[in-house]
């Protein structure tokens, strides 16, 4: 019996899982001749960066599933897939806890001004006097832009620190947290704005100069989503002008070469897009892709449809 044909545009990050994929399926790589093999491809494995275009989709008449290895889907033409009723899966359940941990790390480091405190010790200034008093976190309001699987995991952690939660998304969720449809109102009411929405044209520069001004000179922006969601020039201008208190960013516009104006600010925390970057989580993400393929070919419900 022949194996189902799978087009792998982006290999699974864990070699053992990639070997498992290749053992179970007839795997074709990005340089495959789609004129020859395209009519037999039933699944595409990709991610948000590598994506899948409408032109590629048109050359895959037997396509039944697109399995993304990343939470982001910005490069995948979901409209073209939707027109043919082709589902998309992503591994958000496998990475939600890891990204939420990183989000809280950034939130705490930004709110507690970790770089300035570290410099106070390393420079020898501590011997001349104590660091300025900081701000308590308890009782502050965390505004969450995007209360999906990851946003919900962040909210649960934030509650343990005594934060009040307010969220916005395209529509209300089945959630205990207050919903506000207007992002500007969320930014106005929040002390900290957490960005967790997908990237892509729909969310590009959603956090703009007006939103940053509403967050205010004491406010903190945390982004663990995609750099494109935040208008980065507007962010830098707001920091320059003192209209925003600080930023903690795991994602930026020009990764892996971020704008030099972000690099040496005491009120900016930067990490190298590490939201899901642990061996355990990347293995779980790879396993999620395989589980969705198994479910498809067994005629069972998909594990993590978008």
Render pLDDT for 132-190 as a digit per residue (tens, 0 to 9): 999 999 999 999 999 999 999 999 999 999 999 999 999 999 999 999 999 999 999 99
- Same domain for 60 and 202, yes or no, is no
Query: How much is the pLDDT for 78?
Result: 95
R_g of the chain, CA atoms, integer Å? 21
Query: How much is the pLDDT for 184?
Result: 98
Query: How much is the pLDDT for 289?
Result: 98
- Same domain for 148 and 74, yes or no, is no
The CATH number assigned to the domain holding 74 equals 3.40.50.720
Please report whether residue 306 resides in a domain: no
- Same domain for 41 and 185, yes or no, is no
Please report whether residue 304 resides in a domain: no
- Same domain for 233 and 105, yes or no, is yes
- Same domain for 283 and 186, yes or no, is no
Q: Domain tally for the chain?
A: 2
Please report whether residue 142 resides in a domain: yes
- Same domain for 9 and 76, yes or no, is yes
- Same domain for 99 and 230, yes or no, is yes
Query: How much is the pLDDT for 1?
Result: 67
Query: How much is the pLDDT for 222?
Result: 98
Q: Which residues participate in catalysis according to the annotation?
A: 226, 255, 273
Residues in the chain predicted with pLDDT less than 70, given as ranges, are 1
- Same domain for 60 and 133, yes or no, is no
- Same domain for 166 and 199, yes or no, is yes
- Same domain for 115 and 232, yes or no, is yes
Q: What is the 3-state secondary structure (H, E, C) of the chain?
A: CCCCEEEECCCCCCHHHHHHHHHHCEEECCCCCHHHHHHHEEEEEECCCCCECHHHHHCCCCCCEEEECCCCCCCECHHHHHHCCCCEECCHHHHHHHHHHHHHHHHHHHHCCHHHHHHHHHCCHHHHCCCCCCCCCCCCEEEEECCCHHHHHHHHHHHHCCCEEEEECCCCCCCCCCECCCHHHHHHHCCEEEECCCCCHHHCCCECHHHHHHHCCCCEEEECCCHHHECHHHHHHHHHHCCCCEEEECCCCCCCCCCHHHCCCCCEEECCCCCCCCHHHHHHHHHHHHHHHHHHHHCCCCCCEC
Domain that holds residue 290: 5-90+279-298
């Amino acid at each position: 019996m022949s194996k189902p044909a799978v087009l792998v545009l982006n290999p699974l990050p864990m070699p053992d899982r990639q070997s498992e994929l290749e053992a179970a399926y007839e795997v074709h790589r990005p340089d495959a001749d789609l004129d020859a093999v395209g009519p037999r491809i039933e699944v595409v494995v990709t991610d948000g960066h590598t994506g899948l275009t409408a032109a590629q989709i048109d050359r895959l008449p037997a396509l039944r599933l697109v399995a993304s290895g990343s939470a982001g889907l910005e490069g995948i033409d979901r409209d073209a897939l939707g027109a043919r009723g082709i589902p998309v899966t992503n591994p958000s359940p496998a990475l939600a806890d890891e990204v939420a941990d990183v989000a809280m790390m950034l939130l705490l480091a930004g709110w507690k001004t970790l770089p300035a405190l570290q410099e106070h010790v390393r420079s020898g200034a501590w011997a001349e006097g104590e660091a300025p008093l900081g701000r308590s976190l308890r009782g502050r309001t965390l505004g969450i832009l995007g209360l999906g699987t990851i946003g919900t995991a962040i909210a649960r952690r934030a509650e343990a620190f005594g934060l009040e939660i307010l969220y916005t998304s395209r529509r209300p969720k089945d959630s205990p947290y207050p919903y506000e449809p207007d992002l500007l109102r969320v930014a106005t009411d929040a002390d900290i704005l957490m960005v967790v929405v997908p990237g892509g044209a729909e969310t590009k520069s959603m956090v703009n100069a007006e939103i940053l001004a509403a967050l205010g000179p004491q406010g903190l922006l945390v982004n663990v989503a995609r750099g494109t969601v935040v208008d980065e020039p507007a962010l830098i201008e707001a920091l320059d002008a003192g209209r925003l208190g600080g930023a903690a960013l795991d994602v930026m516009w020009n990764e892996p070469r971020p704008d030099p104006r972000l690099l040496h600010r005491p009120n900016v925390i930067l990490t190298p897009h590490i939201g899901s970057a642990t061996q355990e989580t990347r293995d779980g993400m790879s396993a999620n892709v395989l589980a969705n393929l198994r479910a498809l070919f067994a005629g069972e419900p998909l594990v993590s449809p978008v």
